[in-house]
């Protein structure tokens, strides 16, 4: 049902429509300002790796987006960022497909041994999803906007090559 490809300029407008509120946009990135614009996405991906969209195979409709970034304050720290799924595809496997693709790209393309992410305490659906995927909390930070205070939970997952993946490199 789904396929993945690298982000293209034509995808930006669709991604901008995915966050349904200021809070969802904050979950996607505290650096974004509501309403999300293509220029904000283009600005943030300058320092990102593997900007990826998930599309419906038959129609090429963009249904999810994410990328990976490096935390310059920690030498080998890579983070999953800007994760968003179209409202009409939530609960339909798009997030799972996106996460599988991004973890594979981190392991195979970037040779990352572990990946981190930040999820806010009010995003209980996201916290449950990432926990189910084997992400474990390792730090907690206070984050605030003009309107609200959040607890940002930093999570980490070790990335292991499956046997069949390791065979590709022999």
Q: Which two three-digit tokens encode residue 73?
A: 């304050």
pTM here is 0.93
Cα separation, 89 vs 97, in Å, equals 11
Cα 17–chain centre separation: 16
Q: Please state the domain extents for the chain.
A: 2-168
Summarize pLDDT for 7-39 with one digit per residue, the tens. 999 999 999 999 999 999 999 999 999 999 999
With beta carbons less than 8 A apart as the criterion, state whether 105 and 111 touch. Answer: no
Cα separation, 98 vs 100, in Å, equals 5
What confidence score (pLDDT) does residue 1 get?
Answer: 96
Summarize pLDDT for 83-105 with one digit per residue, the tens. 999 999 999 999 999 999 999 99
Q: E strand or H helix at 23, and its extent? A: helix 22-28
Q: Which two three-digit tokens encode residue 32?
A: 């974004």
Which CATH class name applies to 2-168?
alpha beta
* 8-state DSSP, 135: -
Summarize pLDDT for 52-94 with one digit per residue, the tens. 999 999 999 999 999 999 988 877 899 999 999 999 999 999 9
């Amino acid at each position: 049902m789904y396929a993945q490809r690298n982000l293209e300029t034509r995808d930006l407008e669709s991604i901008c429509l995915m966050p349904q509120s200021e809070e969802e946009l904050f979950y996607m990135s505290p650096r974004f300002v509501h309403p999300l614009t293509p220029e904000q996405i283009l600005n943030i991906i300058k320092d990102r790796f593997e900007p990826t969209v998930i599309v419906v195979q038959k129609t090429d409709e963009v249904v999810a987006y994410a990328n990976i970034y490096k935390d310059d304050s920690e030498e080998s720290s890579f983070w999953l960022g800007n994760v968003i799924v179209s409202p009409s595809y939530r609960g339909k496997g798009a997030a799972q497909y996106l996460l599988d693709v991004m973890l594979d790209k981190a392991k195979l393309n970037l040779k990352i041994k572990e990946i981190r992410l930040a999820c806010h305490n009010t995003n209980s659906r996201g916290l449950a999803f990432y926990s189910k995927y084997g992400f474990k909390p390792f730090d907690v930070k206070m984050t605030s906007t003009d309107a609200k205070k959040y607890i940002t939970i930093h999570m980490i997952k070790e990335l292991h090559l499956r046997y069949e993946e390791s065979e590709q490199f022999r």
